[in-house]
Amino acid sequence: MQQLRPLNVRRVPRFREAAYRAIKEAILDGRFGPAHPIIEEDVAEALQISRTPVREALAILQHEGLLAPRNGRGLYVRTLTRDEFVSMFAANEVVEPYLVRRAALRADESQIEEMRDALDRAERCAESGDMAGFLRAGRDFHRLVGQACGNTPLTRFITQNEERTDLYLMSSGQTLGPERMRASNEEHREILDAILRRDPDEAARLVIAHSQLIRRRLSELFEDRPATPEDERP
Amino acid sequence: MQQLRPLNVRRVPRFREAAYRAIKEAILDGRFGPAHPIIEEDVAEALQISRTPVREALAILQHEGLLAPRNGRGLYVRTLTRDEFVSMFAANEVVEPYLVRRAALRADESQIEEMRDALDRAERCAESGDMAGFLRAGRDFHRLVGQACGNTPLTRFITQNEERTDLYLMSSGQTLGPERMRASNEEHREILDAILRRDPDEAARLVIAHSQLIRRRLSELFEDRPATPEDERP
DNA sequence: CCGACGCATTTTGCATACAAAGATACGGTG
DNA sequence: CACCGTATCTTTGTATGCAAAATGCGTCGG
């Protein structure tokens, strides 16, 4: 029977996958401070699995740039250098306008509904002062925009970028006040409105303005922080 | 003594790193056909190491999208679907103009020299009919442009993108004739000329035209190929 | 009191071992 | 001869074991 593909009982590494998600979630929730080393065995014990799948997950997270070895001993959440910070926002401002433009042209009703949901979620988090949840909802919004655009590679790129900048924000010890969160979310709503009106130019304009605003707000964080050397893997 | 950082005898995973590079090189050289499964133990034996670091490297390559499990059994080089193919080139046409623009403004003498080297290398490969080497040199050129621009995240993104499209080309069994390679390299030279003249607009125009040309040339490959389902990890 | 040396501890990196899940081969049966 | 069931074989996913390296600490000497 040709129309039924073989069940595809994906025997993918379940523990590795679970560890990857769990660690990433913990990182993005800010549960690891910049001075808190991530110890393989501790993670393994917490998840009740062995070190092997944990190691594989950590290797991936390292490759993604969320973690980095320090002094050759111990993995830590990676803090951004000033240059990286600038680069990430420049990248956003290159990519996001394209995504939101096409999203404005192509998003269907259900996608728009999901975006609205994400913004509602963000609002609730803003009310309750849940910064990690707020940032997560914001990433979801941008991811949904990317999905509406339909470009998987760029969507992944943007998502990873925002994970890293949000992570930086979390681990900097900065706390976003509810009014700031509400303001940021209001900008998101305006972008969604432009998408609803099928106005790509306005949507692109708004998304650039949004990114620039965030950049300005965050730049203060670097006032007193010296640029630390970047050890990228090419 | 502050100006000397501690020796940083990086005890990073040497074997994992070596395996990652070796496998990636082999993949991008086209030494694994689309029907050739990559067996952990074979790789381990070839590299004279154990399966553990090999597995970690493979996990990363999988995450990067160069490999994918098939039927839940065995890793294979990932072939692009039509949609992915379109997305990658769309992404290139969004990102590359920015990179080359800034490269035209910022590239210093030594960076330009490196670009020239890459193009010379590509030319030699074109002469000798070494398609993998030609593609690699082409990627190097684009990577150097990205480095001249100075945006690490975008440079990484572009490099990975081109790895995947080049890989698709290799594994499609298509062979680029020397004249095609020369023509493509000529376009690269024109881009480099524009960078040399510090003409960002022209450079951006050329790079878009270049990408579109490649896309057209490659589109033929999809004529008879049905879109296969994409199982991305979000 | 400060510094240096050495030991113990921690934690990683790699190897090996083992079990389970498909796949393959093969033989039996209708 | 085709088809189904079984047994074997391959290959992965996970656990465990072990050695090396770096860190921290304690102790000793100046």
Total length of chain A: 234
Q: Specify the nucleotide whose C1' lies closest to residue B70 (CA).
A: C22
What's the confidence (pLDDT) of residue B109? Answer: 94
Q: Name all protein residues with C-beta less than 7 A from any atom of nucleic acid chain D.
A: A 11-16, 49-53, 71-73; B 6, 9, 11, 37-41, 51-52, 55, 69, 73-75
Q: What is the mean pLDDT of residues B143-165?
A: 96
Phi, psi of B86 (to 5 degrees): -60, -45
What's the confidence (pLDDT) of residue A112? Answer: 96
- Distance, in Å, from the CA atom of B151 to the CA atom of B132, rounded to the nearest integer, reads 26
Confidence of residue A73 (pLDDT cuts 50, 70, 90): confident
Share of chain B above pLDDT 90, in %: 71
Instruction: Please state, in angstroms and as integers, the Cα–Cα distance from residue B171 to each residue in A115, B19, B35, B166, following that order.
Output: 38, 21, 9, 9
> Tens of pLDDT along B191-232?
999 999 999 999 999 999 999 998 888 877 766 554 443 333
Quote the mean pLDDT of chain B.
Answer: 88
What's the confidence (pLDDT) of residue B146? Answer: 97
**Interchain CB distance below 8 Å, B9 and A84:** no
**Chain B residues near residue A136 by CB distance under 8 angstroms:** none
Q: ∠ CA B178-B182-B187 to the nearest 5 degrees?
A: 150
> Tens of pLDDT along A107-143?
999 999 999 999 999 999 999 999 999 999 999 999 9
Our separate counts of H helices and E strands in chain B read 9, 2
What's the confidence (pLDDT) of residue B172? Answer: 78
Interface of B with A in 81-110 (CB under 8 A): 83-84, 87-88, 90-91, 94-95, 98
The residue among A202 and A69 whose pLDDT is bigger is A202
Kindly tell me if the per-residue pLDDT of B10 is higher than 60: no
Contact assessment for residue A114 and residue A141, using Cβ atoms and an 8 Å cutoff: no
Give the domains, in start order, of chain A with CATH numbers.
14-77 (1.10.10.10), 82-222 (1.20.120.530)
Kindly tell me if the per-residue pLDDT of A9 is higher than 80: no
0.85 exceeded by the pTM? yes
> Tens of pLDDT along B65-76?
999 998 767 899
What's the confidence (pLDDT) of residue A137? Answer: 97
What's the confidence (pLDDT) of residue A224? Answer: 52
